[in-house]
A = this chain, B = another copy of it.
Amino acid sequence: MRPIQIVPLAGLPEVRPGDDLAALLLAALRGAGLRLEEGDLLVLAQKIVSKAEGRYLRLSEVEPSPEAAEIARRDGRDPRLVEAVLRESNEVIVASQRALIVEHRSGAVCAHGGVDRSNVAEGEDAVLLLPEDPDASARRLREALARESGVRPAILIADTQGRAFRRGVVGVAIGCAGVRPVVDLRGVRDRAGRPLEITQVAQADELAAAASLAMGQAAEGVPAVLIRGAPLRPGEEPARSLYRTKAEDLFRH
């Protein structure tokens, strides 16, 4: 098995609404002396996809609902920010001074419904929302890259999330195109010939975590990464297939 390479694509400009991400990525690849190859995966930080899609919200234009005002008062939060979170969410999972964790519209459980204030260049008043439909964003980008380069790479859109039971955030997938989010090993046997006890591997989340190593979080962060040589299982399932339904989940009821 050949090594897997994780290549940070430095040299992307600050992304603005309407930017052509496929063109920017191909330019960044050229700048790094690289061309897309069959089997490549591009991992994009959610923020640059949201920025290209203009997913900004001005808090000064948000009117808090009574529910948002009540959560904000009780937990010491900005009521307009809480309202923005609630609009992006199906359900509140935990609301306290320590955390505001919701089920996002997509079905993902995450802090603040993905509503983010950091690394937003549009001023103190603006927050950035997750892409409207990250799987659709990934599919569109994949097709644009195929048209412009002749190679159809797999695409992940990645975010970072905290976890139950473990400290710190890790990269996770929120949008997929051409790579199977969950690989099902049911029926696969171990070295001794017994069925494996572990039957589902979150391939897309492991890829997003690997990409996150090369992205960093801070001012010098790199928002796109090429993963080459990974033993990808292809597939067209959406990132949503990573999200446990409420009925299936052991940790909310």
Q: Chain A: residues with CB nearer than 8 A to chain B? A: 1, 3-8, 10, 14, 94, 96, 98-99, 101, 108-109, 116-121, 160, 163-172, 181-183, 185, 188-192, 194-198, 200-203, 205-207, 209-210, 212-214, 216-219, 221-222, 230-231, 241-244, 249-252
Chain B residues within an 8 Å CB radius of A189: 218-219
From B167, B182, B191, B209, contact of A182 by CB (8 A): B167
Chain B residues within an 8 Å CB radius of A214: 1, 3-4, 230-231
Do A202 and B167 touch across chains, with their CB atoms under 8 A apart? yes
Do B192 and A121 touch across chains, with their CB atoms under 8 A apart? yes
Chain B residues within an 8 Å CB radius of A230: 213-214
Chain B residues within an 8 Å CB radius of A218: 185, 188-190, 196
Chain B residues within an 8 Å CB radius of A202: 163, 166-170
- Which partner residue on chain B sits nearest A116 by CB separation? B197
Do A117 and B209 touch across chains, with their CB atoms under 8 A apart? no
Indicate whether A117 sits within 8 Å of B1 (C-beta atoms), given known contacts A101-B250, A202-B168, A217-B201. no
Closest CB pairs A-B (n = 6): A168-B202, A210-B210, A209-B209, A109-B165, A164-B164, A4-B6
